[in-house]
A and B are shown apart, each in its own frame.
Chain A
Amino acid sequence: MKSRSYLPYYFIAPAAIIIFGIALYPILHTFYISLHQINLKFPDLGMSFIWFENYIRLFRDVRAMSALLNTIFFTVSTVALELIFGMIIALLMDRALRFRGILRATVLIPWAMPTVVAAMLWRWMYNDQSGIINAILVATGVTTEYLQFLAEPALAWVAVIVTEVWKTTPFMALLLLAGLQVIPREVYEASAIDGASKIRTFFTITLPLIKPVLLVALLFRTLDAFRVFDVIFVMTGGGPGNSTESLSLYTYKTMFGALDFGYGSALSILTFVCVILISVLYIKFIGTKTR
């Protein structure tokens, strides 16, 4: 009898081993490295165990802290905008009866484009002398002079956020659309009979009913935005004056530019911890609301 109770463990063992091998082991190894001073440039200095010194350095490092704040700012602003625009597009697509297929395919184009290609495209569009955005702004009289978008920290942020929102709103819209389409039509009919306004219907019926889908979409996008690298790397390289450097970009520069793998690993672990915190918060939120 006793041996039978072990049986389930044998069944889950392969899955557990694979998960450990591809997810857990790299994280644990990164953590192990982050407790050492190790720089590939100096193999003769070896790998010395320094406890949490890299973490102490991290919290004293102004650049790391501002990269963290930049990342949080980027995440919050892009996800909020994607939510608003994604919701509007999803509601429109839910209504549209004709050309539905074409509409959905068109909306997906930015999402299907490789991020680096899209970022490169936008970089040229923002160009201060030959960019189309400046041409449009001046032609429509919004500004009288050409703006140096990527040369001013505030404008560079706008530029990067617009690119990211343009790129990933379709993903949000499609997930939300899926949520909208499973809402039974009768509920809407009932609210119409009760004489509820459109806005009232949206807030008391649509929103609560798509909440689970909404939270999953938000979770995906938040985690994704928090790891932002490519858009910023291509468009600004972290500039101007390092004002748009994200945590991933700083980690990359530390690891592959400076070859400081010990400190770079500590930065990776910081990203990992933040991502875990975000996930836990969301999952808690999703869990309680659907019960």
Chain B
Amino acid sequence: MKSIILHSFLIFILFTGCSPEEDVTTITFNLGRDPTGAHYAIIELFEETYPDIKVQVVESPQDASLQHDLYVTRFAGKDNSIDVIALDVIWIAEFARAGWLLPLDDLAVELPMDDFLPGPVEACTYRDSLFAIPWFTDAGLLYYRQDLLNEYGFDEPETWNDLQIIVDTIRRDNPQLSGFLLQAEQYEGLICNVMEFIWSHGGSVWDKSGHWHTATPETEKAIQTLIDFIRTDDIIPRGVLTYQEEESRHVFQDGRAIFLRNWPYVWELANNPATGSNVVGKVGIAPLPGEKPGLHAATLGGWNLGISAYSDHPDESRKLISFFMEYDHMKQFSLDGGRLPTRMSIYKDPDILQRSPHFEDLFEVFINARPRPVTPHYSQISDIMQVYIHRALLERITVREALDRIDGEVLALFERYGK
């Protein structure tokens, strides 16, 4: 008897409980693992606002290049299980060229695109169409030991020369300290760091008429400065040739370095005693120095939301992207996750400034951050640059030789597939 009641109850649930599900559309939201999990709150709100859409979050590894390879395999197989996808700034031209992303120009009409930071929008644009909407941004910054600079009476460095003088002076009394840490292993981060050196010396990789050209005096000088810092002057410890973000953060956080170039995420970790940081409250943050005063440069990072061309639910996906881009939602997302919003008006929001007072000073950095070359060839160009620049940093070849080789191989690439 009991079992009959139980069964009829279960059958009742089966028929009543599940029937509304039939008109619910489920879309997937694909992104790399985000330890803060700040997107879940927004998705919950979205599902409340649109009861007929359910969002399934599909997380992939945190490592961006692993995500890239994963998505490539799925797109190549025309997998329709990807709807909304979080894209690294450097993938967009490549995925758009391959025809894997839907153009979102119609969405751009609805959204206040003028309020978005120019760098990320540029990175999301391929052949005059927008293929993703900037979600949150990232830019290279200079972290410094405020306590040490105060002790020696220095202001934050405006030029690379200032930085060199500060390091020389402080290291004279503290030879155990490293001067300036950055990321120069043979990997993607090397290119982010090198582009900052190139731009802050007035160089670039494309010339004014849109031709690829790195072998210019400015670029040569920029990389030579980096080499001199590593070798002759001992400004940068040689170990950075094996460093990625986390290695350099750990050394800086342990209190064993004066300067660090890294992304904004370091700010909260370095100031949180729970991470074992020895420099809580002793860290300053500034734009990266330039060759001349005012010639600051920052490489743009960050993530953007796009829609797979193989998605069966493009309309629902558009709704989710618009929802994430609304002022209140983007604001909440950056408050919860400590992310840098892509809408400029949010940087003036009192709640945001209360949580992250440094945003006010750094707004200039974020608005001026520049994307790495926006081209479908980017991943291959980056690979070529990594090889030759790393070799130049090891002083196996001269800077000139490295740049000539890079130009030669990149041009051969364009010749094979078109630009």
The residues of A with any CB-CB pair to B shorter than 8 Å are 37, 39-45, 63, 127-130, 146, 148-153, 236-242, 253, 256-260
Contacts and interface: CB of A to CB of B under 8 A. Distances in A.
A170 B267 CA distance: 45
Interface string B380-414: 10010011001101101000000000000000000
Interface of B: 65, 68-69, 72-73, 76, 94, 97-99, 178, 185-187, 237-239, 241-242, 247, 250-251, 254, 256, 376-377, 379-380, 383, 386-387, 390-391, 393-394, 396, 416-418
B383 A253 contact: yes
Contacts of A152: 394
B interface secondary structure, majority: helix
Contacts of A149: 242
A40 B76 contact: yes
A252 to B, nearest CB: 9
Nearest to B379: A257
Given A63-B387, A127-B247, A41 B239 contact: no
B399 to A, nearest CB: 13
A257 B413 CA distance: 14
B98 A242 contact: no
A240 B376 contact: no
6 contacts: A40-B98, A236-B186, A237-B185, A240-B394, A241-B186, A241-B390
Contacts of A241: 186, 387, 390-391, 393-394, 396
Contacts of B73: 256
Contact of A39 (B99, B186, B391, B417): B417
A148 B383 contact: no
B219 to A, nearest CB: 18
Contacts of A240: 186, 241-242, 390, 394
A112 to B, nearest CB: 24
A258 B247 CA distance: 27
B383 A129 contact: no
A44 B127 CA distance: 16
Nearest to B413: A258
Nearest to A44: B99
Contacts of A153: 394, 396
Given A42-B418, A237-B187, 8 more contacts: A40-B98, A45-B417, A45-B418, A151-B394, A239-B185, A241-B387, A257-B380, A259-B94
Contacts of A44: 99
A238 B394 CA distance: 14
Nearest to A259: B72
B376 to A, nearest CB: 5
Contacts of B186: 236-242
Nearest to A128: B239
A165 to B, nearest CB: 21
Nearest to A159: B242
A215 to B, nearest CB: 37
Given A237-B187, A238-B186, A42 B97 contact: yes
A129 to B, nearest CB: 6
A36 B288 CA distance: 46
A128 B390 CA distance: 18
B240 to A, nearest CB: 8
Nearest to B382: A257
Given A151-B238, A240-B186, A241-B396, A41 B390 contact: no
Contacts of B380: 257-258, 260
A41 B100 CA distance: 9
A148 B239 contact: yes
Nearest to A153: B394
B185 A43 contact: no
A151 B98 contact: no
Given A127-B247, A148-B241, A239-B185, A41 B396 contact: no
A63 B251 CA distance: 34
A257 B390 contact: no
Given A41-B94, A42-B97, A257-B383, A242 B390 contact: yes
Contacts of B418: 42, 45
A43 B239 contact: no
